[in-house]
A and B are shown apart, each in its own frame.
Chain A
């Protein structure tokens, strides 16, 4: 059986950069109707939320760590050009090859060129949101190179031609029996039950052969240190260690915002990230490597510094805090919207509250104008964010941009006339009188169940309270 053949086709269904995504409300509508999805999501997010709260409460200096994390990220962005040059210098001095890529196409072709230079037709990959974002697997497949995902969840999705719905647990929308059926169809060399232990074992057997013989690997990175040229990958399963250690050639794709200034800065993020993401005191494996180590690990190392919209985000002084994100996914797990719709409704590599502010900025607001509205602005995301990203404020900021960009004439006219009416006492009084009069045919009891014409959208899923028969002012006058 060679289940790997055919992988890479139809795998990257997340929209490519440049394409507009499906409006959130429409996508969410479908997701909400899926009972299985909603119960998977509820179980998973509730579990991890509780665990996270427990391990965060263990640290007496959590707030100080958050503030330090925020300040370090702000410093990185404020001097990004200097830190990039410093990283380039340090990584090159350590034996790494540093490349720069403006966008997806350039990064993908750099990876393909390395593969071709070594006549590689199959490579192993560590889970990386950045490579999802640039559609690397599809680009490699088009160039005749199969990229094999090695993270358990990513493998599940790749085998099924599906795409990620959660930053940390990409297959959160799949339950164990769905996964068992998939494995039986694809990689299992003997029968498996739906016990997660057996399923993990099946993936271990399948991937071990691949790891031991792979000649090239591609990874993303969680952090990279400008001072020393060190790259850091944080993981649990050991597939990250396998990929960054065993194959003789390693290519790391690094979003330019992933830098930290000094090695010591890692002490902050290595405390913030595991507790916020997997709700562990420390994740099982963290790998840190600095260029090439003779006799240990890959002997050829490339790192690609990727822009792909990041400088666009950087140019917005309010919105740039989205680049502080360390991809922990804590915001998704607490979000009242995400926990019901799941990640696919966001239509992008980065779902959840952080995706709602990052995606429209990376792609351009005109390509994802519905995402800033996929929130109740409750602020739970801000509270759990380990680097204190004020997501609600950025959402509001982007909503204003979306409205300006979208230019819905009807809505704008309505809003500006409402502003005019509400701006004068006599006009307002006249309007409420007219409103009371015109609502009469629609009121049932104290509510309006159904509005006519274009207003029907409002009452399709909710009742509207009627305008009170008497205004507060009238009532007050009457009392006096």
Chain B
């Protein structure tokens, strides 16, 4: 198309001319975790806590009540949620705003947001969102100041490579946008002293559910 394109490619080829091909990378780092599920869940909870996420473990039966409590404890009344949030998660006593192309200003007027996730990485204390029905579009988990995220125990992998293998499939099949979240937003820009809460949600609450949350998006996909 452009001549710059041809020129840059020509320069690259000229620079590489006569060079020897690089050897294929060895991938002898850990690709699969070794922890059994209980230890894996414990590790996730510990690592989430290390980066100042509030973590709570609940059973399926008490989930809606736990969600309501977490919002109430932080004086959140107006809560937005993606349209795909299962009915069983929807808490009573809150003003629920389902996302249907809400404007940025409307999202800014919400006290918090409730979502599920696609998977979680234990070793790094990371939640992964991919825009699935229970997660919604990216702005939803970005603008409100409080994010309550529901994680099913079966969604937890131990290592980063295990997560990326699943996410690669989502990107190749659907070009899903991916957000990795590890704790609330933070900065260390002033004298390297860590401050939680800059532009993203300042409070992150993670509810780890003992049995599969019914009809959560990623589960339906067999992730």
Contact = CB atoms under 8 A, between A and B. Distances in A.
B190 A176 contact: yes
A442 interface: no
A238 interface: yes
Interface string B110-147: 00000000000101111000010000011100110000
A421 interface: no
B198 A203 contact: yes
A100 B180 contact: no
B15 interface: yes
B7 interface: yes
A204 B199 contact: yes
A224 interface: no
| Interface residue range, chain A | 35 or more
A280 B218 CA distance: 27
A464 interface: no
A200 B202 CA distance: 11
A100 B5 contact: yes
A71 B24 contact: yes
A237 B200 contact: yes
Interface stretch (A130-138, A259-267, A403-411): A259-267
A270 B24 contact: no
A112 to B, nearest CB: 16
A317 B19 contact: yes
Interface in B1-54: 2, 4-5, 7-9, 11-16, 19-30, 47, 50-51
A473 B170 CA distance: 75
B220 interface: no
A463 to B, nearest CB: 37
Nearest to A150: B199
Given A43-B191, A100-B8, A65 B29 contact: yes
| Interface residue range, chain B | 35 or more
Contact of A241 (B28, B124, B179): B179
Contacts, number: 258
A263 B167 contact: yes
Contact of A296 (B13, B105, B138): B138
B181 to A, nearest CB: 6
A153 B193 CA distance: 13
Interface stretch (B62-70, B148-156, B157-165): B157-165
B4 A106 contact: yes
Contacts of B12: 80-81, 84, 256, 311, 314
Contacts of A305: 8
B160 A263 contact: no
A237 B30 contact: no
A121 interface: no
Interface stretch (A2-10, A11-19, A287-295): A287-295
Given A212-B105, A281-B125, A296 B177 contact: yes
A338 interface: no
B108 to A, nearest CB: 6
Nearest to A171: B189
B182 A280 contact: yes
A212 B201 CA distance: 14
Contacts of A317: 19
A151 B190 CA distance: 12
Given A67-B26, A199-B190, A289 B183 contact: no
A150 B200 CA distance: 13
Contact of A263 (B4, B172, B185): B172
A86 interface: no
Interface of B: 2, 4-5, 7-9, 11-16, 19-30, 47, 50-51, 101, 104-105, 108, 121, 123-126, 131, 137-139, 142-143, 160-161, 163-165, 167-168, 171-172, 175-193, 195, 197-201
Given A78-B22, A290-B175, A312-B15, 20 more contacts: A40-B191, A43-B192, A65-B29, A68-B28, A71-B22, A71-B24, A81-B12, A84-B8, A196-B187, A199-B190, A204-B197, A237-B198, A256-B8, A263-B167, A281-B123, A285-B180, A285-B200, A311-B11, A314-B15, A320-B15
Q: Which 10 A-B pairs rank lowest in CB-CB distance, beginning with the nearest?
A: A238-B200, A71-B25, A238-B199, A315-B15, A311-B11, A296-B137, A282-B124, A238-B185, A286-B180, A237-B198
14 contacts: A40-B191, A44-B192, A80-B16, A81-B9, A176-B191, A211-B199, A236-B187, A239-B198, A281-B124, A284-B51, A287-B180, A295-B137, A307-B8, A314-B16
